[in-house]
Amino acid sequence: MIETAQREHVVSRPLAGRRTLVTGGSRGIGAGIVRRLAADGTAVAFTYRESKDAANDLEHEIISAGGQAFAIQADSENADAVRGAVSTTVDRFDGLDVLVNNAGTSHSAPIGEFPMAEFERIVAVNVRAIFVAIQAALPHLDEGGRIISIGSVLADRAPFGEISVYALSKAAVAGLSRNLARGLGPRGITVNTIQPGPVETDMNPASGEFVDAVRSLTALGQYAQPRDIADAVAFLARIESRFVTGASWNVDGGFAL
């Protein structure tokens, strides 16, 4: 009976004992990832920029359900803040096993009118912050460590105009992950990118002027929910994904077909 209970615990909480940092985890896709990983048993620290109330509510929700969570205020545009978030997580949980780079930003405009300040902000948040977080996390990741970055299917497909800089940043994420997978493979650390298609969040509602056109580009004819992306992250964080590395996994409802 004891052995059966132990096996059931492992199945229901496959990430028990793991320690995770999720950047940009207070809302939308990030909050979905935090909830799923906490439900699977990992202790989760997550960063937020301005959504303090949402972050505190999510932390309380997970702790009330018997999980471990810790919200860290850190703007991913600030490299020192990103390094600090990694350090705080390691101190809080006495180590780190899984890094999920989720924080991101976007801006759309014709390339000839694209503000340089927006270009620099997108690159800082979507690319530099991932590099900085990985660099800070590596001394603490052992064999079995996981680095998972949230990219975008728009890195591979360009159905809309005026998003070239965003697409550039997400293509960079995929390239960084592929090459890091080669370099970190000998250490037993896997590096993967998840590339979502359209996901319904408060910043990207499944309603409005262009929604029907976006839906028509997917094979399933609908937006994803944050949990759909979180499920993919949870798999890549588990032991069952040990032979998956350097992958760009489209979780897009057939958007890129």
> Domains along the chain?
2-251 (3.40.50.720)
Beta-carbon contacts of 143 under 8 Å, excluding residues fewer than 6 positions away, are: 187, 188, 189
- Check residue 98 and give its pLDDT: 98
Q: What is the 3-state secondary structure (H, E, C) of the chain?
A: CHHHHHHHHHHHCCCCCCEEEECCCCCHHHHHHHHHHHHCCCEEEEEECCCHHHHHHHHHHHHHCCCCEEEEECCCCCHHHHHHHHHHHHHHHCCCCEEEECCCCCCCCCHHHCCHHHHHHHHHHHHHHHHHHHHHHHHHCCCCCEEEEECCHHHCCCCCCCCHHHHHHHHHHHHHHHHHHHHHHHHCCEEEEEEECCECECCECCCCCCHHHHHHCCCCCCCECHHHHHHHHHHHHCHHHCCCCCCEEEECCCCCC
- Check residue 41 and give its pLDDT: 98
- Check residue 11 and give its pLDDT: 56
- Check residue 212 and give its pLDDT: 83
Could you give the residue numbers annotated as active site? 166
- Check residue 8 and give its pLDDT: 46
Q: C-alpha 5: how far from its chain's center?
A: 32
Q: Report the alpha-carbon distance of residue 170 to residue 166 in Å, rounded.
A: 6
User: In whole angstroms, how far apart are CA 91 and each of 24, 154, 205?
Assistant: 19, 36, 37
How close are the terminal C-alpha atoms of the chain, in Å? 48
The tens place of each residue's pLDDT in the chain, 257 residues long, gives: 444 444 444 458 999 999 999 999 999 999 999 999 999 999 999 999 999 999 999 999 999 999 999 999 999 999 999 999 999 999 999 999 999 999 999 999 999 999 999 999 999 999 999 999 999 999 999 999 999 999 999 999 888 888 999 999 999 999 999 999 999 999 999 999 999 999 988 777 766 777 888 888 899 989 999 999 999 999 999 999 999 999 999 999 998 78
Give the residue carrying structure tokens 């588990």. Answer: 238
- Check residue 207 and give its pLDDT: 65
Q: C-alpha 122: how far from its chain's center?
A: 16
- Check residue 217 and give its pLDDT: 87
Task: Please state the length of the chain.
Answer: 257
Q: Which amino acid is at 194?
A: I
Query: What would the two tokens of residue 68 be?
Result: 């471990």
